[in-house]
Structure formats: C-alpha cells, structure tokens
Amino acid sequence: MSVSPRLPQRQRSGCVYSSIHGFNQDEIKEKLQAFHGGSIDLLKQDSGIAVLTINNPSRMNAFSGSMMIDLEERVSQLENWPEGKGLIVQGAAETFCSGSDLNAVRAISNQQDGMKMCMFMQNALTRLLRLPLISVALVEGRALGGGAELTTACDFRLMAAGSVIQFVHKHMGLVPGWGGAARLVHLVGSQNALKLLGGAVKVDPELGVNIGLVDGVLEGHQKAEGAAPLLQQAENWLSRYTKGPAPVIQAVKKVVLSGRELPLSEALRTEKDIFGTVWGAPANLEALASKSKHK
Ligand SMILES: CCCC(=O)SCCNC(=O)CCNC(=O)[C@H](O)C(C)(C)COP(=O)(O)OP(=O)(O)OC[C@H]1O[C@@H](n2cnc3c(N)ncnc32)[C@H](O)[C@@H]1OP(=O)(O)O
C-alpha cells in the first residue's frame, strides 16, 4: 500500500532503507534464514481485525532470524488487505517477546551483519507502523529489548496487569536499533525516553499510563475472576476505533500518519488527497442519504 501520494519515494514503499543506502534485502534474508525456530503467525478475521502472534515460546518469543523474515512477509500480506481495519500484535503463551534471539545475536555480532539486521528490522517495523490499519500491541508478561521496540511500532499499547516493558539494551551494551528509540521519543518525549533507556527502567502498567506509553490496562484472569480473555479484551478496546467501513478507517489512519510524519504543508496536501478518496464514496453517500444525526 502506498502511504500517500506525497510521501517521498522511500517512504511511499514504507521502507527507510533501499539499495541507495547500500541495503540488499535478499542478502540479509539469506543470512537470517540460517537462524530458525519459531514463527510469526497471522490470522485475518472477518471483523477486519487481524491478530499477529510472535510465536517462539521455548525462548520467551525471542526473534529468530527466520521470524524476522516471517514478520516482513506478514507485513506485506497486511499491506495488501483491502478489508483490513485493525491489528493486534501479541505474544504466544502468555508472554510478549524477549527481543532478539541471543543465539542469532551472538552469531552475527560482527559490525556488518549487525547493520544489515538493523536495517532489515527498521524497514519491517516502519512498514508495520505505516500500515493503513489501527494497530495495538497487547503486552502480557515481558516485552524486553527488541520486544519493547516492537510495542512502539504499533499505534497503541495495552498492558495486562503484572506485565513489564523494559528497554534492556543498556544492560546488553546496546541501544535500540530497530527504530525503538526514535519512536519512543515521539511517544513519551525525550526526557522520559532518556530515563527509560538510560535506566533500563521496568515499565509497569501504572508507569506506562502515567508517561503516555500505555493506552489501557487489561485485567488478567488471575486478578479478576470472570474477566474476558486478554485477546477478547483487546479486540473490544480496539473495536471502538475500527467500527465502520474499511476505506474510512484506513483513511483515518493515513491522515494521522501523514500528520505525524510530514511537515505541515505536505501533510495538508496529503490530507486533501486522502479526503478525495472518501468524499462522495459509498460510505459518504450512504451517510448523507440517511440524514444521520450525531447526538
Ligand atoms: C536490537 C535488539 C536488542 C535485543 O533484543 S537484545 C535481547 C534482549 N533480551 C534479553 O536479553 C532477554 C534475555 N532473557 C532473559 O532475561 C530471561 O530469559 C527472561 C526473558 C527474563 C525470562 O526469564 P525466565 O522466566 O527465568 O526464563 P528463562 O531465562 O529460563 O528463559 C526460558 C528460555 O528462554 C530462553 N530465552 C529467553 N530469552 C531469550 C532470548 N532473547 N534469546 C534466546 N533465548 C532466550 C532462555 O535461554 C531459556 O532457554 P533454556 O530453557 O535455557 O533453553
């Protein structure tokens, strides 16, 4: 999907890096493929809400190399989903994601491979954030390192009671490299981002809400007798924003995206173009014919 007609070429494809940056996707894919295990599973539902599951429970849902490739492929599938409106990103087996698979990290710890992996994941997560779907990370258990970065590649974050988001990079002698620092600054401001990264702070739901990282707290079964399953709670939470026809919901996401990423004049022109796709379109004409009141 092209984000908008006015984004620069490399943003139009959703990617940050291409061959002009010396990035060769096929080359790094071949390398990543050697580190297998786990999967990224995609379930597209009739409701227009898809569920993306990080699935590598024996390693606390750490990202193997093949899972990085899976992620990129799932994002491509979501970019080509005309009926899509929303996306929930969750981890399997009651935990979110413990970041990069440390076995793969050790094997590609040289400078060159590290840069390539970094560019690959930045591209994939930037495209995830730029999907014309309203996305939410459902954090249950731990979101560590790259897992914490992944949560920032969604529009919203929901945390189950007792969960933790932690940018542990400093403890690994690293900084975020999957775009998580840049996105974190946008979400919580540079002061809070500096505290979270500099202190490798454990963000619980209360702190997350206070600093604006987290948009809602869900009750786990353990806490609230009879509480709905977390995925159901997340779907209910998201459905208030995805109610309506897909072209309208996608247009909502696109105008916000252009406002977030583009300088004002460009964002305004892009908004005009996106407006043009919904003006006089079926949902608009239907609403006009029904003389709906907004009481
Ligand atoms: C730019 C990206 C930067 C990054 O993401 S760097 C990676 C950052 N993440 C980490 O350092 C996480 C390291 N892991 C941990 O701290 C702990 O395993 C963790 C997640 C708190 C869970 O602790 P526990 O509940 O005590 O469970 P455990 O340690 O026995 O783990 C269960 C099995 O999962 C494995 N595991 C967890 N995180 C992993 C990872 N990132 N890569 C590879 N394997 C990982 C862990 O080795 C263990 O496996 P095994 O049972 O010993 O075979």
Give the pLDDT confidence of 277-286 residue by residue, as tens digits. Answer: 999 999 999 9
Residues 209 and 257 in one domain: no
Rounded to the nearest 5 degrees, what angle is found at the Cα of 118, between the Cα atoms of 215 and 101?
75
The answer as to whether 64 is a domain residue is yes
Tokens of 243: 């109610």
Q: Is 96 in the pocket of ligand 1 (CB under 6 A)?
A: no
Q: Residue 268 pLDDT more than 90?
A: yes
Same domain, 100 and 159: yes
Q: Are 103 and 125 in contact (CB under 8 A)?
A: no
What are the beta bridge partners of residue 284?
Answer: none
| Co-location of 189 and 281 in the same domain | no
CA distance 213 to 105: 27
Q: Determine, yes or no, domain membership for 1.
A: no
Domain that holds residue 283: 248-290
Could you tell me the distance, in angstroms and rounded to a whole number, from the CA of residue 100 to the centre of ligand 1?
9
Q: Tell me: pLDDT of 259 over 90.
A: yes
End-to-end CA distance of the chain: 35
Give the global pTM: 0.96
Judged against a pLDDT cut of 80, whether residue 54 lies above it is answered with: yes
Q: What is the pLDDT of residue 221?
A: 59
Domain count for the chain:
2
* Amino acid identity for residue 221 in this structure: H
Q: pLDDT, tens digit, for every residue of 131-182?
A: 999 999 999 999 999 999 999 999 999 999 999 999 999 999 999 999 999 9
Query: Ligand 1 pocket, 148 CB below 6 A?
Result: no
Shared domain check, 277 and 158: no
Q: Which of 2-6, 7-11, 260-264 has the highest mean pLDDT?
A: 260-264
Mean pLDDT across the chain, nearest whole number? 94
Task: Decide if 4 is inside a domain.
Answer: no
CA 108 to chain centre: 25
Q: Identify whether residues 130 and 255 lie together within a single domain.
A: no
- The predicted complex's ipTM stands at 0.99
- Indicate the residue type of 31: K
From 98, 100, 149, mutation site for ligand 1 pocket: most ligand atoms within 8 A of C-beta: 98
Query: Residue 10's pLDDT is what?
Result: 43
